[in-house]
Amino acid sequence: MSRLTTMSPEAIKALFSPNSDDTLVVLLTVYDPVNTTTAVVRLADNFNKRILEDERDVYYGITSRGTDFIFIPMEISLPTEEHNTAPRASIVLRDVTRYITPLIRGLSGPPRIKLELVLYSNTDSVEAYFDYFYITNISYNNDTVSLDLGMIDYQTEPFPCYTFTPSYFPGLF
């Protein structure tokens, strides 16, 4: 089914209007690799308010459904739709505030990722979402953090799951 059929008329207008004062905002939620229902960081690629501020910095972001998403400039390649492979996506974060790096260094497994698209003018209504992606590769330097996202590709898993090996069937050997 086309993605357009699930989007609101306002979102479609924002996409196709010759002169649009609205845009889609990507919300990125990263879950804990161990406790996969606990979000450890929420990011957005745009902002419409101040989320936090202190003497030195102002943290901009977006509040969606009561939850704050911190603004970090990022480049996103949305998931592909190909027949032979599981969807893949990638994200490049402009981590100039050093907000992400300590989190990356503390990872103990592949974190689950959820991508959501909301309208700038209505951040509480999700226009599209891509869930159950996992970070399969991370690279970073002093300017950017690059994340490769992939889904579990069941087509490449063995079937049936058991094979005649000495560990499963020692009587045969």
Partner 1 sequence: MSASYSWPGGLPQVPQSTGYSESIGTNVSRLPMDSGKAKIRFSSLRGDKLSLQYLMTGAQLDIFEDFVKNTIRYTRRFYLPHPRRKGTISAPLSVGYTNIDPMFVNSVNRSSGAYYRNNSSLAYASPNTVRYEKGSGILVESAATNLSIESVTPASWFLGAVTLGSNIASPDSEYPAKQWLETATTGPHYTTFADVPVSANERVVASVYVRELNPALKRYVSIMFPAAQFTANKEVFIDPATGLFGAPAGITEFGSEKIGTYYRFWAATSATVSGTATIQIRLSTSISSVSPSYAGNVLAGGIFWGRQVEIKASGGPTSLIRTTTAAATRAADSITASIPTAAPDMVEAVLSFNNGVAYRKTEVAPNHYIVSFDAEILPI
Q: Which residues bind partner 1 (CB under 8 A)?
A: 14, 17-23, 46-50, 53-56, 58, 60, 120
Q: What is the DSSP letter of 85?
A: S
Which residues, other chains included, contact 92 with Cβ-Cβ below 8 Å and sequence gap of 6+?
74, 75, 76, 144, 145, 146, 147
Looking at the Cβ atoms of 31 and 47, the one nearer to partner 1 is 47
Query: Closest distance between partner 1 and the C-beta of residue 57, in Å?
Result: 9
Query: CB-wise, 31 or 64, nearer to partner 1?
Result: 64
∠ CA(156), CA(111), CA(129), 5° rounding? 80
| Shortest distance, position 165 Cβ to partner 1, whole Å | 55
For the bound state, the minimum distance from the C-beta of residue 155 to partner 1, rounded and expressed in Å, comes to: 36
In this complex, which beta carbon is closest to partner 1, that of residue 17 or of residue 80?
17
**Position 75, amino acid:** E
CB of 56 to partner 1, least distance (A): 6
Cα–Cα distance for residue pair 8/13, rounded to 1 Å: 9
Which CB, 47 or 133, lies closer to partner 1? 47
Beta bridge partners of 125: none
CA–CA separation, 54 and 12 (whole Å): 38
Which of helix, strand or coil describes residue 102?
helix
| Alpha carbon of residue 81 to chain centroid | 16
Alpha-carbon distance of 48 to 118, in angstroms, equals 13
Q: Which is nearer to partner 1, 20 or 165 (CB)?
A: 20
CB of residue 85 to partner 1, shortest distance in Å = 29
